[in-house]
Structure 1
Amino acid sequence: MDEESSDGLLFKDHNFCSDLLRQLNGLRQSRILTDVCVCAGSWEVPCHRNVLASSSPYFRAMFCSNFRESGEAKVQLKGITSLALEQVVAYVYTGEAHIAAGNVLPLMEAASMLQYPRLFEACSSYLQDQLAPSNCLAMIRLSEVLSCESLKRKAREVALTCFPEVAASADLKELCVLELRDYLGDDGLCGEEEKVFEALMAWVRHDLQARKCYLKDLLQQVRLQYIHPAFFHHFMAGDTLLQSSPACQAFLEAARRQVFSVCGASAPDCRPLWHVPPRSSYQDFLILVGGRKDSQQTTRDVLLYSTQTGEWQSLAQLPARLYKASAVTLHRSIYVLGGMSVGTGRCPVSHSVYIFSMKLSEWRVGEPMLAARYSHRSTTHKNFIFAIGGLGAGQELLGSMERYDSVHNIWESMASMPVGVLHPAVAVKDQRLYLFGGEDIMQNPVRLIQVYHISRNTWFQMETRMVKNVCGPAVLLGEWIVVVGGYTRRILAYDPQSNKFVKCADMKDRRMHHGATVIGNKLYVTGGRRLTADCSIEDSASFDCYDPETDTWMPQGQLPHTLFDHACLTLQCVPSMSAHS
């Protein structure tokens, strides 16, 4: 656009430069006023020195300095193919280059040598568009040869994002130990730790004699606390190659004591390894399982909520319609325990266990509990699940507790709780399982904290006037156990060290039969039933978030429908195994 000023008009001809180049290219093709030939072997391309010098620092230095080439009629360019030279010169005169699979590498090399950075990046962009798990490791090597950071960055991103496919490729086995170590140790690697272990073992066995000395160093890149315990015990600890290495055996034994035993005995020599966070590809998702939805219909729905997208999606439905079952997450799977089977005529109390695999997106039947129970509570510690109390097949109040060992796939009876209660709030902290309140068989609130020492299999109880919760959950939020409502608005944070309660900001409503879980450092509360001002009961679809740093509540919108007596869980997994299932 032309610009007017106080002393006249500034005329801008935006086509002039391109027209000038077009005219110069015509002169070049007719060999008019050309004063130099750039050559690749016997191939000669006539050019104008001033055009080349204006287009590239490489040619400027060649023709505008005291180099021998500045006065020569022919200049030989080594390391460039004739086709690439022709295309570079055409690019100089037209600003255009046709990039394809057959010419991209020699063209990119020529652009790098002759210092045409925009052409170089255009070639890089073309290669980035061709990236796939089958070629990304080769592209990383190519990017290093060409010193192309943009290609290297994108190829590495593909390699990390598509790790399971890349791990199965022949290229991975050809990496040097430093490259593999850097790759397996990357926080952005998108895959389960079992795959990391399998990849490094395949790499070592590819050239066993030369590589077995690197085994322990590479093994430390596996984040063992995120390995499924059954995989650890049956595949890692039992691996003959690892057993042949005293250093690896010592490392795995320290891991077994620290990470996988019920007591978590200390291993000071390896302690820092157990505090590595999960890889950044893992995300926490909020899961709602079963419960009663609109019109008090017991539902088989399983819903997943992403805090990143704010969207809900449905997962595969429960295999059975279960009234007041309990559910937990363990090892990237959902376990649904017991409940009363609805729609089977007699409504029998169940001891069945159903397990949902996020990886396979399907349910399977697990090892059944020892006792049929519903209205019970369950929680996890390390690789164990605890099923506590509830009502039995004869509607009797159960004081019993049983524990599932996910490594050996067995249930075993543990010490019974001192006082049998229904609907207590349950949480685990520092080797202890805490039961807050609940109600007796006559539906009277029980003002007790019952504490189970996990490694000792013993209980003790403490009376307290602070708890009067029924049908409300508890969660571990930082160093505190938070008891969330239960026929009350009150939120109580309990410090096990000092045995003291602190009151937090109240919920908006008196809630019970709701769900609660923690994602990040925030508490999420879902659904339930609320007592209105006139003491009537309403089903709720509310979805709220509590921030302990500000001691405030923030609404998160609504659940897809009203829901209560459901399980509200946090499941940590790789998004591709959940959001795209």
Structure 2
Amino acid sequence: MTNEEDVFTFQDTGHPDHLMSGLQELRKECRFSDVIICVGATEFPCHRVVLASASSYFKAMFSGELRESLATKIVIHSVSEDIMELLLEFSYTGKVGITFKNVEALLEAANLFQFGTVREACSRYLQQRIDASNVLGFHEFAEAHNCTELSELAKEFVIDNFLEVFQTSGEFLQVTQERLVEYISDVNLQIDKEEQVYESVMQWVRADVDNRYGILHKVLEHVRLPFINPRYLVAKVETEPLILSSPACMELVQEARRYHVFDYDRADNPNIRMKPRPCFDISEAMVVVGGCSGGDTKLAKVDCYDPKNNAWHTLSDLPEYNREGYRIVALGNDIYVTGTTDETITSDGCATTWKYSTQSDRWMTMAPMLKSYKCRATVVLHGQIYLLGGTDINGPVADVERYDPFSNSWEEVQSMIKAMNDFTVAACRGKLYVNGRSQGSEKILFQCFDPSTDTWNFIDNSVMPEWSQVPQSITLNGLIYYLRDDSKEVDAYDPIANQWVEVAPMKAMHSSGSVCVIDGKIFVSGGFGELAESNLIECYDPTYDKWAYSGSLPEPRCYHWCVSILKKVEHKDEEE
């Protein structure tokens, strides 16, 4: 007996092809057609149901309330007869012949009439034929027709092969200002040296100097002039008439010159031009110098930390690491150590200044400091090192010395108004700011030095936070951050507005730790935690006002110093 629910389903796998073949045959024979597509002098008899199935453009046209939904003839203007024949052929067969001659027109029409698969096929065809001579045109074409994949691939090709495109493509000099800026400002731009970017910009400007001279400075601000060779900057850039005649361009040149003579603070005035391009394999690194570990064991070791790769490597040991109260600063891309050589302080004694060269990984002696005071504070301002205060056999002193790296000499400058024996100093917006206590007083004093007038003055501290201990200070983005030594609290001071700013607290306490700025973030390391010495590193992102853990020191460490320098990236495969 047959089961009525026993169903055999037959499927003819060739049916779709037979159906499409039959429809195409009917189109060729002009049978059963219900609409005529008119392009120029050519008429194409078609079937609405086929066009509506192949194209959402035609589906909307035939199913809407437009007059074309009822018309037997539809005139189309924005396409050639040949291209329309290709699209209609595709509608009935699912096949289309793409050539280098028809691809752009076909893609444009496929985009207009919403043949998505044809558009993507044309895009892939162009992607396989991108080279330095045609990539700029392909990029513009892809952008105009919303071909995201082609656009991204074309831009990536330009970024990866910028010099070849600049030298090969005849279209380079015709790109718009916006497109040129898009290329040269891309973080992944691949070049051998920054001079290549500068030369491409100048050649682009000279190609239409009457219309482009006025916008030269807007394009030039995306060239990282500080990383152009100083000799080239003087010989080529500063002598270029188009640059010399533009005050805005000369400001950018002077900015680069200040960087070359160390008169620019990357942390105080963050600027994309002050950051080396990733293709140069140079990044900001933290150098941790000396300190103590495991109690009173003094360390001579110097470690370098790459935050991006969370990797450590060692540098040459610190000379005279047993000296008392030494201080560390970075000037240019070198590190300077100042402080006394031992606990004996004489009225006319001198202490050695050491410099670490990042290029040679060597320490060398420089001109000695004028006076050997203990516990002096050190800071860099306008490319010079300031050495402030300290103590001698009679107590705290207000003396200030200044070091010029180009003459390798120290000089005395105007002393502080009040001597302090517990204080911190920071350079911000062209001035020095000193917070601390004078001997025998619990009151926090706030002194400011203006080098342009060589004068000190007191700042009203009536709204200053209450500190039981003077905190560490660091400058970032025009604010001075004070990291408390006895808690997780952080305070920030805006010297321009003379206001205090609320800041999120650290995740852990870092008493006698160290702090520096790397890539626009504050990094604090080591010190004493709530229970013991710590090896934790955490960083503060001012954009989000948040602290986060960011690696750890090689060992717990306190009383150390850290600074940031630019250093060649150490790749793991190179180390191995």
Q: Fold conserved (TM > 0.5)?
A: yes
Q: Which moved more, 1:425-434 or 1:50-59?
A: 50-59
Query: Which residue number corresponds to residue 82 of structure 2?
Result: 78
SS across alignment from 1:456: coil
Query: Which residue number corresponds to residue 113 of structure 1?
Result: 109
Task: Give the residue type in structure 2 aligned to 1:22.
Answer: D
Is the alpha carbon distance of 1:159 and 1:90 closer, same or farther for their aligned partners in structure 2, counting shifts above 3 Å?
A: same
Is the alpha carbon distance of 1:368 and 1:205 closer, same or farther for their aligned partners in structure 2, counting shifts above 3 Å?
A: farther
Q: Distance in 1 between matches of 2:514 and 2:209?
A: 51
- 2:23 is the alignment partner of 1:21: no
Q: How far off is 1:563 after superposition?
A: 3.5
Residues 454-501 of structure 1: per-residue CA shift (max 9 Å, x gap): 22344457898966646x520236665332223566645456468787
Q: Distance in 1 between matches of 2:10 and 2:522?
A: 60
Q: How far off is 1:569 after superposition?
A: 5.1
Q: Distance in 2 between matches of 1:286 and 1:166?
A: 32
Q: Distance in 1 between matches of 2:441 and 2:165?
A: 58
Is the alpha carbon distance of 1:498 and 1:489 closer, same or farther for their aligned partners in structure 2, counting shifts above 3 Å?
A: same
Unaligned runs of 5+ in 1: 1-8, 39-44, 71-75, 263-274, 343-347, 357-361, 533-537
TM norm structure 2 = 0.62
Aligned pair partner of 1:559 in 552, 555, 564: 552
Task: Give the residue type in structure 2 aligned to 1:328.
Answer: A
Task: Give the residue type in structure 2 aligned to 1:189.
Answer: D
Is the alpha carbon distance of 1:168 and 1:92 closer, same or farther for their aligned partners in structure 2, counting shifts above 3 Å?
A: same
| Alignment size in residue pairs | 502
SS across alignment from 2:220: coil
Is the alpha carbon distance of 1:304 and 1:131 closer, same or farther for their aligned partners in structure 2, counting shifts above 3 Å?
A: farther
Task: Give the residue type in structure 2 aligned to 1:184.
Answer: V
Is the alpha carbon distance of 1:50 and 1:349 closer, same or farther for their aligned partners in structure 2, counting shifts above 3 Å?
A: same
Is the alpha carbon distance of 1:148 and 1:329 closer, same or farther for their aligned partners in structure 2, counting shifts above 3 Å?
A: farther
Query: Which residue number corresponds to residue 278 of structure 1?
Result: 272
Is the alpha carbon distance of 1:495 and 1:281 closer, same or farther for their aligned partners in structure 2, counting shifts above 3 Å?
A: closer
Q: Distance in 2 between matches of 1:33 and 1:570?
A: 74
Q: Distance in 1 between matches of 2:128 and 2:488?
A: 55
Q: How far off is 1:179 after superposition?
A: 1.2
SS across alignment from 2:302: coil
Query: Which residue number corresponds to residue 541 of structure 1?
Result: 535
Query: Which residue number corresponds to residue 514 of structure 2?
Result: 515
- What is the aligned-residue identity percentage? 16
Query: Which residue number corresponds to residue 214 of structure 1?
Result: 212
Query: Which residue number corresponds to residue 326 of structure 1?
Result: 328
Q: How far off is 1:117 after superposition?
A: 2.1
Aligned pair partner of 1:312 in 310, 313, 318: 310
Query: Which residue number corresponds to residue 269 of structure 1?
Result: none
Work out whether residues 528 and 539 of structure 1, in 8 Å CA contact, stay in contact via their aligned partners in 2: yes
Task: Give the residue type in structure 1 aligned to 2:82.
Answer: K
Q: Distance in 1 between matches of 2:454 and 2:384?
A: 14
Query: Which residue number corresponds to residue 434 of structure 1?
Result: 433
Is the alpha carbon distance of 1:122 and 1:489 closer, same or farther for their aligned partners in structure 2, counting shifts above 3 Å?
A: same
Work out whether residues 326 and 377 of structure 1, in 8 Å CA contact, stay in contact via their aligned partners in 2: no
Query: Which residue number corresponds to residue 386 of structure 1?
Result: 385
Q: Which moved more, 1:127-136 or 1:453-462?
A: 127-136
Q: Within 5 Å, give how 1:228-377 maps onto structure 2.
A: 228=226, 235=233, 239=237, 242-243=240-241, 247-248=245-246, 250-254=247-251, 278=272, 287-292=286-291, 297-306=299-308, 312-314=310-312, 317-321=314-318, 323=321, 326-328=328-330, 334-338=333-337, 351-354=353-356, 356=358, 369-371=366-368, 377=377
Residues 69-118 of structure 1: per-residue CA shift (max 9 Å, x gap): 99xxxxx94369x9xx5xx788656757798xxx4674464354354222
Work out whether residues 516 and 524 of structure 2, in 8 Å CA contact, stay in contact via their aligned partners in 1: yes
Task: Give the residue type in structure 2 aligned to 1:564.
Answer: C
Query: Which residue number corresponds to residue 402 of structure 1?
Result: 402
Aligned pair partner of 1:189 in 162, 180, 186: 186
Q: How far off is 1:432 after superposition?
A: 1.4
Q: Distance in 2 between matches of 1:313 and 1:449?
A: 39
Is the alpha carbon distance of 1:277 and 1:228 closer, same or farther for their aligned partners in structure 2, counting shifts above 3 Å?
A: closer
Is the alpha carbon distance of 1:479 and 1:32 closer, same or farther for their aligned partners in structure 2, counting shifts above 3 Å?
A: closer
Work out whether residues 527 and 558 of structure 2, in 8 Å CA contact, stay in contact via their aligned partners in 1: yes
Work out whether residues 292 and 564 of structure 1, in 8 Å CA contact, stay in contact via their aligned partners in 2: yes
Task: Give the residue type in structure 1 aligned to 2:383.
Answer: F
Work out whether residues 438 and 468 of structure 1, in 8 Å CA contact, stay in contact via their aligned partners in 2: no
Work out whether residues 437 and 443 of structure 2, in 8 Å CA contact, stay in contact via their aligned partners in 1: yes
Q: Distance in 2 between matches of 1:488 and 1:58?
A: 67
Query: Which residue number corresponds to residue 6 of structure 1?
Result: none
SS across alignment from 2:272: coil
Is the alpha carbon distance of 1:112 and 1:299 closer, same or farther for their aligned partners in structure 2, counting shifts above 3 Å?
A: same
Q: Distance in 2 between matches of 1:570 and 1:163?
A: 32
Q: Distance in 2 between matches of 1:548 and 1:340?
A: 32
Work out whether residues 284 and 565 of structure 2, in 8 Å CA contact, stay in contact via their aligned partners in 1: yes
Q: Distance in 2 between matches of 1:109 and 1:497?
A: 59
Work out whether residues 160 and 190 of structure 2, in 8 Å CA contact, stay in contact via their aligned partners in 1: no
Q: How far off is 1:415 after superposition?
A: 1.5
Work out whether residues 528 and 563 of structure 1, in 8 Å CA contact, stay in contact via their aligned partners in 2: yes
Query: Which residue number corresponds to residue 265 of structure 2?
Result: none
Is the alpha carbon distance of 1:447 and 1:468 closer, same or farther for their aligned partners in structure 2, counting shifts above 3 Å?
A: farther
CA RMSD in angstroms comes to 6.2
Unaligned runs of 5+ in 2: 32-36, 38-43, 62-67, 260-268, 342-349
Is the alpha carbon distance of 1:180 and 1:237 closer, same or farther for their aligned partners in structure 2, counting shifts above 3 Å?
A: farther
SS across alignment from 1:175: helix
Q: Distance in 2 between matches of 1:230 and 1:281?
A: 10
Is the alpha carbon distance of 1:108 and 1:415 closer, same or farther for their aligned partners in structure 2, counting shifts above 3 Å?
A: same
Q: Within 5 Å, give how 1:403-482 maps onto structure 2.
A: 403-404=403-404, 413=411, 415=413, 417-418=415-416, 424-437=423-436, 449-459=446-456, 469=469, 472-476=471-475, 480-482=479-481
Is the alpha carbon distance of 1:36 and 1:455 closer, same or farther for their aligned partners in structure 2, counting shifts above 3 Å?
A: farther
Q: Distance in 1 between matches of 2:140 and 2:10?
A: 42
Q: How far off is 1:400 after superposition?
A: 5.0
Residues 390-444 of structure 1: per-residue CA shift (max 9 Å, x gap): 999xxx9995533456xx686663516547878842212233112333899xx99
Q: Distance in 2 between matches of 1:222 and 1:341?
A: 46
Q: Distance in 1 between matches of 2:190 and 2:390?
A: 38
Task: Give the residue type in structure 2 aligned to 1:23.
Answer: H
Q: How far off is 1:513 after superposition?
A: 2.7
Query: Which residue number corresponds to residue 42 of structure 1?
Result: none
Is the alpha carbon distance of 1:415 and 1:368 closer, same or farther for their aligned partners in structure 2, counting shifts above 3 Å?
A: farther
Work out whether residues 173 and 202 of structure 1, in 8 Å CA contact, stay in contact via their aligned partners in 2: no
Q: How far off is 1:524 after superposition?
A: 4.5
Q: How far off is 1:540 after superposition?
A: 0.6
Q: How far off is 1:175 after superposition?
A: 2.4
Query: Which residue number corresponds to residue 156 of structure 2?
Result: 158
Q: How far off is 1:527 after superposition?
A: 1.5
SS across alignment from 1:402: strand
Is the alpha carbon distance of 1:502 and 1:165 closer, same or farther for their aligned partners in structure 2, counting shifts above 3 Å?
A: closer
Q: Distance in 2 between matches of 1:528 and 1:224?
A: 40
Is the alpha carbon distance of 1:421 and 1:118 closer, same or farther for their aligned partners in structure 2, counting shifts above 3 Å?
A: farther
Q: Within 5 Å, give how 1:26-41 maps onto structure 2.
A: 34-35=28-29
TM norm structure 1 = 0.61
SS across alignment from 2:402: strand
